[in-house]
A and B are shown apart, each in its own frame.
Chain A
Amino acid sequence: MPNKTFFWFFLPTGLAMILFIGLPIISTGIQSFYAQHDQIVKEVKKCDPFGCTVSIVVDNEETSKIREAKPLGKFNGFGTYTDRNHLAVEEIKKFWNETESFGAFIDQVTNLPFYKALIFTLTYCLFVTPNVLLLGFIIALSLNAVARKIRGPLIFGTILPMIVTPLVGSLVLFWMIDSQGIIGANIQNLMNDPYLSLKSSKTLTWITIIIYGIWHHSPFAFVVFYAALQTVPQEPVEAAIIDGASRFQRIKHIVLPHIYPVVTFVALISLMDNFRVFEPIIGFSAEGSAQSLSWLIYDNLVNEEVILFGSAAATSIMTIVGIAILLAPVLIRTWKEFRIAR
């Protein structure tokens, strides 16, 4: 396609992307450099049905004057990025100087909210993405091998986890693993420990969320792989059979190289999705044991009665940077292949 044609094809999409993705990201970026103005408070008498007390309120007259002059807030530079609830630069320096062993240092760092969330997010990505690829591929291969008659219903059944709304899917599992639920109660019986709870143990909660993630995302990989498998040319496969290649060899040397670009694509999308893990944490009420970066943003925006726009914006920007870093190796590789192909 000539560059000019491509440009006109891409223009509407490009404009929409700038309008709905580009500009909001820029505005989020700007927001992350600002903090609220210093609060001007005054002492007043407050009375309610239980009596009167003297305490403080925000002086709205004074505050609104400052707000009108500088509606964005107080410029804070990278202040929000480096504070304790984000990168915690000073705290980490302090821990490094104070702790005696490396293990103690790591303990202290992983106790900070941002790093706690980062570790969960990365663990989730690391376990879910490869398993999704593997499971999706295995399902696609097996379904490709069954008789055409029953393939339709089987495919529908397989993509069900993706059709089910994430929140509903996680809630169903949440109730099943309740200590009174079918899975939870049976595990208690098996282990002979009435105090065992999948929901109160951090490790078990993580495992549950990861298994849920694999269950939920595999159908996506499966659908794409299944479509790709339909394009595998039959001649080389037949030739390989005549040459006496085993099923495993055929997959390794013919099928996989053929669908390799699709594998890269699924890996990319799945990494991006997994890095933004959020719904299962809400669905499983797992806020206590597992926090992800997306959950931190949500927490800053809605969980408190005071909305922390600066904090949420800073975490959002760092999430974008995180995704970019994760995707960099794959993107660089694709780019190199693209250049060689040209």
Chain B
Amino acid sequence: MRKILVTLLFLFFGTSAFADCNIKSGSINILANDFPALRTFVETSKQCKGNAEFKVTHSSEHNKIAVPALTANPSEFSARIAANSSIVPLMNQDLIRPLDDLVKKYGKGIQDSQLITIDGKVMAVAFMANTQHLYYREDILKDMGIAVPKTYEEVVAASEKIRASGKMQHPYAAAYKAGWNLAEEFVNMFIGHGGEFFKSGSAEPNINNAKGVATLNMLKKLSELSNPDYLTHDSEAIKVEWESGNVALMTLWASRSGTLLDDEGDPNITKATKLAGPATVGGGNIPAATLWWDGFTLAKNRSDADADATFRALAHAASNKKMVADAADQAVWLVEGFVPGPKSIGVIEAVKMKAKPYPMLPQMGLMHGALGSEIVEFLQGKESAEQALKDVEAAYISKAKEQGFL
């Protein structure tokens, strides 16, 4: 029976199997976020697990688990699929291992551009890129004679026009849920205004200035055009809003485009859903968006044999031409052989417009956390923009002092 299964598997996947995939032993346990592209990626790596034990945890709460799980010795997970922001705490605590030797030994198909190097050492291998960009309803914009917005000022004007026409009450949507999501929108908008979060070369905050105020005012204008429950809406909630036909303009992750454009839901809305690049703001020329990569890292506190097996399985997926061809509409793959389709417009436009990557700084997580809770009262109209920014800086400074950054 086992032989038959193996033969069948071989028949199915034989074409994509690499010689490298002859894993004899070891145990592979992966921690990853939960969205379709990552599931595809992990499934692809599973095809070459050989005799190794293979486990995976897909969770949207991955950020909360990662540090404690990788601190344990031996670590619960042998690999963690991380992004620009989530690799930082792992680096801060020295929880991931350099991959140079493994890349040399097993990383034949991996392109140089996929390697995340820090201080000359390969710390992660990226396989997909992500960003937030505009989605629009072609039918509504055409009916109203509105051009596709290129700046957030145009987004505001267009949304106001749609609202005034009575077609939709809350024509704009973005993930403004208090906490991480809201802070991420601030980060995007602040970078779009040309802001720098810290005074150069230090961990001193630098957001209580004209750029910070402009950022908050733009967020507020947009929030007023959104569903009044915006402070509780994450990416999933605004996706539902979109599919219910309540929204005409939206800022959302590129990685979600696949689920918006699939066959589920109202076909008329799906047909009219179009993608555009990220918008700029305040006359700036770089987009108000941050570029993200997703890549894999290996736990330090795990045996070399497990790291070996894990790397080989994941490298198989990170260099898999068949995967990127089959799942071309799930993500913007950084893997060789990827041909960008219509669903990749957002990321490609963002790169063309020279969007900045999310800042990979050791103290950025503290700033992100302070933003997520302290700017809420400004959006609710309970305090001034200056006061909110002052609060963010004060909250950040206390935390940074406790963590030894200041």
Contacts and interface: CB of A to CB of B under 8 A. Distances in A.
Given A47-B116, A305-B67, A289 B380 contact: yes
Contact of A303 (B92, B179, B231, B383): B179
B231 A200 contact: yes
Question: In this complex, which of A80, A284, A287 has the most chain B Cβ atoms within 10 angstroms of its Cβ?
Answer: A287
B89 A39 contact: no
Contacts of A47: 115-118
A85 B351 contact: no
Interface string B145-181: 0000000000000000000000001000000011110
Interface in B360-395: 360-362, 365-366, 368-369, 372-373, 376-377, 380, 382-383, 387, 391, 394-395
Contacts of B373: 113, 287-288, 291, 299
Given A80-B402, A288-B380, A48 B84 contact: yes
A246 to B, nearest CB: 49
Nearest to A44: B119
B391 A111 contact: yes
Contacts of A305: 63, 67, 85-86, 88-89, 365, 368-369
A334 interface: no
A46 interface: yes
Nearest to A39: B404
Contact of B126 (A38, A49, A200): A49
B144 interface: no
Given A35-B404, A200-B230, A41 B94 contact: no
Contacts of B178: 285, 287-288
A47 B380 CA distance: 39
A57 B399 contact: no
Interface string A291-317: 100000001001111111011000000
Contacts of B230: 200
Nearest to A201: B380
Interface stretch (A58-66, A135-143, A150-158, A233-241): A58-66
Contact of A304 (B169, B293, B366, B376): B366
B67 A307 contact: yes
A35 B401 contact: yes
B298 interface: no
Nearest to A43: B201
Contacts of B216: none
A149 B220 CA distance: 59
A304 B365 contact: yes
B291 interface: yes
A304 B402 contact: no
A306 B366 contact: yes
A60 B178 CA distance: 33
A179 B119 contact: no
How big is the A interface, by class? 35 or more
Contacts of B177: 285
Interface string B338-377: 0000000000000100000101111001101100110011
A199 B232 contact: yes
A289 B230 CA distance: 12
Question: In this complex, which of A37, A48, A74 has the most chain B Cβ atoms within 10 angstroms of its Cβ?
Answer: A48
Contact of B118 (A46, A91, A195, A291): A46
A179 B86 contact: no
A84 interface: yes
Contacts of B91: 57-58, 60
B190 to A, nearest CB: 17
A308 B403 contact: yes
B228 A195 contact: yes
Contacts of A63: 94
B129 interface: yes
Contact of A311 (B119, B227, B232, B399): B399
Nearest to B397: A84
Interface in A21-72: 35-39, 41-42, 44-51, 55-58, 60, 63-64
A223 interface: no
B85 A303 contact: no
Contact of A85 (B89, B293, B368, B395): B395
B228 A60 contact: no
Interface in B38-75: 63-64, 67-68
Contacts of B263: none
B228 A57 contact: no
Contacts of B357: 48, 50-51
A199 B244 CA distance: 20
Nearest to B290: A50
A287 B372 CA distance: 10
Given A57-B118, A111-B383, A194-B169, A36 B402 contact: yes
Interface in B78-98: 84-86, 88-89, 91-92, 94
B228 A196 contact: yes
B245 to A, nearest CB: 12
Nearest to A174: B232
A35 B227 contact: no
B179 to A, nearest CB: 6
A303 B126 CA distance: 25
Question: In this complex, which of A55, A80, A85 has the most chain B Cβ atoms within 10 angstroms of its Cβ?
Answer: A85
B120 interface: yes
A273 interface: no
Contacts of A50: 129, 291, 293, 351, 357
A46 B87 CA distance: 12
Interface in A73-118: 74, 76, 80, 83-85, 91, 111, 113
A47 B123 CA distance: 10
Contacts of B402: 35-36, 76, 80, 83, 308, 310-311
A252 interface: no
Contacts of A35: 401-404
Nearest to A305: B365
B334 interface: yes
Given A35-B403, A46-B118, A55-B360, 11 more contacts: A35-B401, A38-B404, A41-B362, A48-B357, A84-B398, A287-B373, A288-B178, A304-B365, A305-B365, A306-B89, A307-B67
12 contacts: A39-B403, A45-B118, A46-B118, A84-B394, A85-B398, A85-B399, A194-B169, A197-B227, A200-B229, A287-B373, A305-B89, A306-B366
Interface of B: 63-64, 67-68, 84-86, 88-89, 91-92, 94, 113-120, 126, 129, 169, 177-180, 227-232, 244, 291, 293, 334, 351, 357, 359-362, 365-366, 368-369, 372-373, 376-377, 380, 382-383, 387, 391, 394-395, 397-399, 401-405
